[in-house]
Amino acid sequence: MASILRLPRDFYRQDTLTLARALIGLHLVHRVGGVRRIGRIVETEAYLGPDDRAAHSSRGRTARTAVMFGPPGHAYVYLIYGMWHCLNVVSGDEGVPHAVLLRALAPVSGLADRTSGPGLLCRAMGIDRRANGLDLTGGTLWIERPHAPQPVRIGRSTRIGIDYAGEWARRPWRFFDRDSPEVSGRRARGKT
């Protein structure tokens, strides 16, 4: 049975920077073994490939990045440092490799582990490479509007850990809930 609060495909077609901001305060839901794990999204980063040197798609379409080229509303999951999975939401127009990295969640239901940082988020939610390419409008992994949304004060800053990307590292494409203790590092540098 589909949730009436579950986001439709058109939601993911919007401008990637707008989407990165709009995801703050929404719920990420993953059905694992019949149990729903739910976290409130409190931190995101936008990646606008292929021009954005910090985006995986900056080197073009590969087997790894194919899902980033669309359609929007799918999960792009990759492994970093040989041990941490990261979840991205594919956004924008099909054929344009944009995505939004989910960096942190505030636990809502079914979560016992830390969710501050993209690797910890995926571990707590039970998300790994098997989720790569999943349709976020389906019944396994999705994003929905909460029944009782909490107010959000959005902060903005540069993205984290991408110094190699030159001028692209200075773009203020990280968004976060200024009042959430689950936001990962460098919150103090956030702008409003």
Q: What is the residue extent of each domain of the chain?
A: 9-189
Query: Per residue in 100-117, pLDDT tens?
Result: 999 999 999 999 999 999
Query: Per residue in 84-103, pLDDT tens?
Result: 999 999 998 999 999 999 99
Contact 122, 80 (CB under 8 A): no
Q: What's residue 138's pLDDT?
A: 94
Contact 129, 140 (CB under 8 A): no
Q: What's residue 186's pLDDT?
A: 54
9-189 fold: 3-methyladenine DNA Glycosylase; Chain A (3.10.300)
Q: Which two tokens stand for residue 154?
A: 């959005």
Query: Per residue in 60-84, pLDDT tens?
Result: 788 888 999 989 999 999 998 888 9
Q: Using the predicted structure, report yes or no on whether residue 2 has a pLDDT greater than 70.
A: no
- How far CA 179 is from CA of 2, 154, 162, 173, in Å, comes to 31, 9, 25, 18
Q: What is the mean pLDDT of the chain?
A: 91
Length of the chain: 192
